[in-house]
Structure 1
Amino acid sequence: MEKNEPKTGESDNGRSTSDAGKHLEIGVPVAIVDLPDPDEALGEEERKRIDRALLWKLDLRLIPWLALLYLISFLDRTNIGNAKIAGLQEDLHMTNNQYNDTLTIFFISYSLFEPLTQVLLKRFRPSIFLPTIMVLWSISMTTMGLVHNFSGLMAARWFLGLTEAGLFPGVNYYLSCWYKRSEFGIRAAIFFSAAALAGSFGGLLAAAIINMDGVGGKPGWAWIFILEGLATLVVAILSFWMACICLSDDIEHQLTAKFLSEDDRRRVIRRLKLDQQSSAEHEEFKLAYLWASLWDWKTYTGMIVYMGADASLYSFSLFLPTIIQQMGYKSVHAQLLSVPPYAVATVVTIFVGFVADRTRMRGYCNIIMSFFGIAGFAMLLGSGSPHVQYAGTFLGAMGIYPCIPNTISWTANNVEGVYKRGISLGFVIGWGNLNGIVSSNIYRAEDKPRYKPGHAVVLAYEAVFLFGGSVLQHILLRRENVKRRNGERNHWIEGKTEQEIEKLGDKRPDFIYTL
């Protein structure tokens, strides 16, 4: 293909308008021409009104229910921190190392099975897969309140990790198949803010439930697991019905969505095509997609950034009640004081998601928010004053929670191809969760009340991996964008057909990365 002088502008969807060949000249996939436009006769203002209404319809159907599922899953995996200060460790006669082992084993099964669940989500119907794993983890959750020793708790936590593995990466991937790159961040942020809400809700709930101590011969911490497990089971049963209403079972083929009219289905496909997303097409799995992800440097920089955020997240969520308790507050008081930092984190997470979508500068958002986290854990590490330490938990939450959905959105924005994106997200999220093993073992009982080694490790993760990794990825993406705008990658499409160019995904020379 003959190389023409590239233009330096970008289209509305963030792609280059390079004219290296007819396909790149128009900046629109050829396949869009074959898809009927239901709004062809309408003016620009009317098109925008219909588009806003379509987005609102998608948001109402997808976001609230999926966010509820994640709230429940995060509550179920982290409520062991609330149970600990209610007497779990003493009643089961566990050593400090054994308690940390029960945290660690969750992340082992959770991380190992995440890549497999990405395949299962596509092989089976989402409307069946997601509610089914909920039923299974609700059983695991409930049995945690019935155990009598360390071995029983270890087994329950292993299966909890196994059964929860499919939700978070699967839902993020699923949402990325419905929204344009400039729209995904705020949706991912709202979805993930359920984790921060789970922290707030978990503290309030635990403070109320532990008053059931002695009911049925069970201690208060056991009722935390039992009641929350049974609540999950109820939601899981309702989810079989909700999933049929809210989900399209053909993930990358939105034309099967039952809750959309035929015209709305076409609009969804067209707007994704105009955003040059191949998720609007049907792909069959090939081993080549796995290798494409493994050979892509963005997979590894994404893993670095995400491990900085995720390890910090689990350290914070698993041990916040314990950290607050060691400031001198009693059990119920500590449970209640864990609520405000999460509430602030919820608001900031949604705000950052909105800003990142509008500016399309996800790397800068990560970099800026990491400073809050670094400052917060520096306060926890450097001060013995309970007031200063408590203030540090607010900054720590603000520096961690927004970076989780922002990093996932950043990864999803810059990886094209249905399977490649799913695989890359699986690697990034799986590696981040594997670092939960570190999170489970850095806050040791022998280090209380200040927990200096734990705070120091989280501080290092924030500074080196979250901040440093975000800077590195931003610089590399910016350099690659310059090369593409200058036409230095146009030789990648020489001699290729329009269909072959389309299948290149993010390797297309006119695909401009989100910074």
Structure 2
Amino acid sequence: MESSRASSDLEKKLSLQLEDSVAPARLRRTLADIDPEAEARLRRKIDLRILPLASLLYLWCFIRANIGNARIAGLERDLNLKGYDYNILLTAFYVAYIVFELPCQMLTKWWGPGKTLPLFGFLFGLFSFVMAFVHTFGAAIAVRFLLGITESAVFPGISFYLSRYYRKDELGFRLACFLVCTAAAGAVGGLLASGILKINSIGWLTEWRMIFFIEGIISMGVGAFCWFFMSDRPSACKWLTPEERELAEFRLVAEQPGQSEAIDALHSKAVRAGIFNTNTIVIACVFLLNNITVQGVGFFLPTIVRSIYPQESTIHQQLRTVPPYVCGAFMTLATGYLSWKTRRRGLYLLLSVPPLVAGFSLYVATLNPHLRYTAAFLVALGCFNFGALCTAWSAANVTTDTARAASIGTTVFAGNCGGLIATWTFLPKDGPRYLPGNAFNLANSVAMFFLVGGLLLWQKRENKAKAAGRDDHRIEGKTESEVADLGQKHPDFRYAP
């Protein structure tokens, strides 16, 4: 009897091993195996532990836009900036960001986001602190360049970090929860700057130097705090039970056709697959155009407000930059939540364009201060949610951890190319109307509409062809590792709109 049972068990094990060696992962992993209630409890637990850390870290890094507040608090005067010097100062940041962003993203994939993100967050705070002590234009450029290197790891790194904990349709809202800090940082930066400026001095530090001094110290503290609480992946989270850790990784694998592990080793084929595909390239172009708008708002809204309300005090001008950011934060959360519940991302990008077109049309058409301030709200309503939705859209349309790192990195890389362009769209000679910059952003908004709409139509066509069996032959005679490398060519893969 025992011999018969042992023989039967052995046969079962051999059968399973044979199945593992020849069958694609789609035959062994299914989302139907997941208990919805257990998954909901796990998701809430992850939300409470992961999102606050990511949001806090990003909030104090994105306050890089405090240079816009520092500008109207005397930075140009004290550093003797002339002509395009301010634009060159902004350019130094983005040159470093663009050059180091993809290498830092690959470092994050290799070393782990739980280590790289707190480290780079701390360094960002350190260099912000150092910015308070610069006295020359050259020193300011050097510090801004170092800030660009350190922040190049943060945004794409956090997006990649969250993609290790959340499923495709969950990711957009969670990205919105931390990327709302893009808008919130502008609001907090304006409020904090106005509060700091009420202090006469800290020793010999006055005005704009106090902004960098205080915000730098806070950023360093946040980075040091996150070092002790961020884990690289669910299986390393001690605050999850063994069953929760297993579920956390299984649910990610189960929705990726052909995959048998949540986190693969870094390899060049998956990196290329994440970068060089139609979905990533189009979304990267959209994010590039959008970031011209977002970074322009961050750097030049205080200047625009000053041109609209020149008679008001600096503190009141700082406070007037806050309400548009609050509207942008609300819209980012609203569209992120809707993308989760409706399982769509591109639709909400399309719906975000009309407010952008209306806002920049007002900027182009009039110098009326009340209408231009209204335009600031319209632009904020339309531009800030692209960060969450574009990043989530690119992450949802690749299949491996390495490909996600590369796809997210490429999208953010393109976005920061847009940030670099933004530093030269609002030039001093164009004030107070800034017609070239506003007209350029109006054209960008229209271009984004057509790019997003075109990609949605392309995805629909591709999914229809896959459903008709176009790619079925690709898994014939393949080993499991070969099937895993198919990525978007896997017959069960479907593009997420």
TM over 0.5: yes
Residue of structure 1 equivalent to 2:299: 318
Taking the aligned partners of 2:243 and 2:281, their CA distance within structure 1 comes to: 40
**Structure 2 residue 55 is matched with structure 1 residue 67:** yes
1:104-158 CA distance string (max 9 Å, x none): 1101101111111112113324333222212211121011111111111101100
Residue of structure 1 equivalent to 2:489: 507
**Structure 2 residue 334 is matched with structure 1 residue 347:** no
Residue of structure 2 equivalent to 1:142: 129
Taking the aligned partners of 1:499 and 1:441, their CA distance within structure 2 comes to: 47
The verdict on how the C-alpha distance between 1:262 and 1:410 changes in structure 2, with shifts beyond 3 A counting, is same
The verdict on how the C-alpha distance between 1:365 and 1:279 changes in structure 2, with shifts beyond 3 A counting, is farther
**Structure 2 residue 395 is matched with structure 1 residue 404:** no
Offset at residue 214 of structure 1 (A): 4.3
Residue of structure 2 equivalent to 1:288: 269
**Structure 2 residue 439 is matched with structure 1 residue 456:** yes
**Structure 2 residue 215 is matched with structure 1 residue 217:** no
Contact 2:290–2:418 (8 Å) recurs in 1: no
Offset at residue 442 of structure 1 (A): 1.2
2:465 to 468, 483, 486: 483
2:95 to 108, 125, 129: 108
Offset at residue 429 of structure 1 (A): 0.7
Matched to 1:173, the amino acid is F
Offset at residue 274 of structure 1 (A): 2.5
1:260-296 CA distance string (max 9 Å, x none): 1001111112222322264943422222223323432
3-state SS of the aligned residue for 1:217? coil
Contact 1:279–1:416 (8 Å) recurs in 2: no
**Structure 2 residue 175 is matched with structure 1 residue 192:** no
Residue of structure 2 equivalent to 1:380: 363
Q: Where in structure 2 are the equivalents of 1:489-500 lying within 5 Å?
A: 489-500=471-482
Contact 1:114–1:165 (8 Å) recurs in 2: yes
Contact 2:90–2:423 (8 Å) recurs in 1: yes
Taking the aligned partners of 2:263 and 2:198, their CA distance within structure 1 comes to: 53
Offset at residue 211 of structure 1 (A): 2.3
The verdict on how the C-alpha distance between 1:50 and 1:293 changes in structure 2, with shifts beyond 3 A counting, is closer
1:263 to 236, 243, 246: 243
Matched to 2:365, the amino acid is G
Taking the aligned partners of 2:167 and 2:343, their CA distance within structure 1 comes to: 12
Residue of structure 2 equivalent to 1:470: 452
Offset at residue 304 of structure 1 (A): 0.9
Matched to 2:283, the amino acid is G
3-state SS of the aligned residue for 1:326? helix
Residue of structure 2 equivalent to 1:154: 141
Contact 2:327–2:377 (8 Å) recurs in 1: yes
Residue of structure 1 equivalent to 2:26: 29
1:290-344 CA distance string (max 9 Å, x none): 3323432222112111112112110111111111110024321111011111111
Gaps of 5+ in 2: 1-18
Offset at residue 241 of structure 1 (A): 2.0
Taking the aligned partners of 2:235 and 2:204, their CA distance within structure 1 comes to: 54
Matched to 1:87, the amino acid is G
**Structure 2 residue 63 is matched with structure 1 residue 81:** no
Offset at residue 399 of structure 1 (A): 0.7
Q: Where in structure 2 are the equivalents of 1:207-246 lying within 5 Å?
A: 207-243=194-230
1:482-506 CA distance string (max 9 Å, x none): 1111112222223323453233222
Offset at residue 172 of structure 1 (A): 0.5
Gaps of 5+ in 1: 1-21
Contact 1:105–1:154 (8 Å) recurs in 2: yes
Residue of structure 2 equivalent to 1:363: 346
Taking the aligned partners of 1:204 and 1:294, their CA distance within structure 2 comes to: 39
Q: Greater shift after overlay, 403-412 or 123-132?
A: 123-132
1:415-448 CA distance string (max 9 Å, x none): 1111112112111111110221110111111111
Taking the aligned partners of 1:240 and 1:360, their CA distance within structure 2 comes to: 33
The verdict on how the C-alpha distance between 1:282 and 1:205 changes in structure 2, with shifts beyond 3 A counting, is closer
The verdict on how the C-alpha distance between 1:335 and 1:328 changes in structure 2, with shifts beyond 3 A counting, is same
Matched to 1:370, the amino acid is V
Contact 2:191–2:319 (8 Å) recurs in 1: yes
Taking the aligned partners of 1:290 and 1:242, their CA distance within structure 2 comes to: 28
Q: How large is the RMSD of aligned CA atoms in angstroms?
A: 2.1
Taking the aligned partners of 2:327 and 2:491, their CA distance within structure 1 comes to: 41
**Structure 2 residue 408 is matched with structure 1 residue 425:** yes
3-state SS of the aligned residue for 1:496? coil
Contact 2:357–2:442 (8 Å) recurs in 1: yes
**Structure 2 residue 283 is matched with structure 1 residue 302:** yes
Residue of structure 1 equivalent to 2:396: 413
Residue of structure 2 equivalent to 1:56: 44
3-state SS of the aligned residue for 2:494? coil
Matched to 1:512, the amino acid is R
TM-score, normalised by the number of residues in structure 1: 0.88
Matched to 1:442, the amino acid is T
Count residues in correspondence. Answer: 474
**Structure 2 residue 252 is matched with structure 1 residue 272:** yes
Residue of structure 1 equivalent to 2:5: none
Identical-pair percentage: 32
Taking the aligned partners of 1:144 and 1:85, their CA distance within structure 2 comes to: 16
Taking the aligned partners of 2:404 and 2:142, their CA distance within structure 1 comes to: 33
Residue of structure 1 equivalent to 2:309: 328
TM-score, normalised by the number of residues in structure 2: 0.91
Contact 1:279–1:417 (8 Å) recurs in 2: no
Residue of structure 2 equivalent to 1:10: none
Taking the aligned partners of 1:127 and 1:173, their CA distance within structure 2 comes to: 11
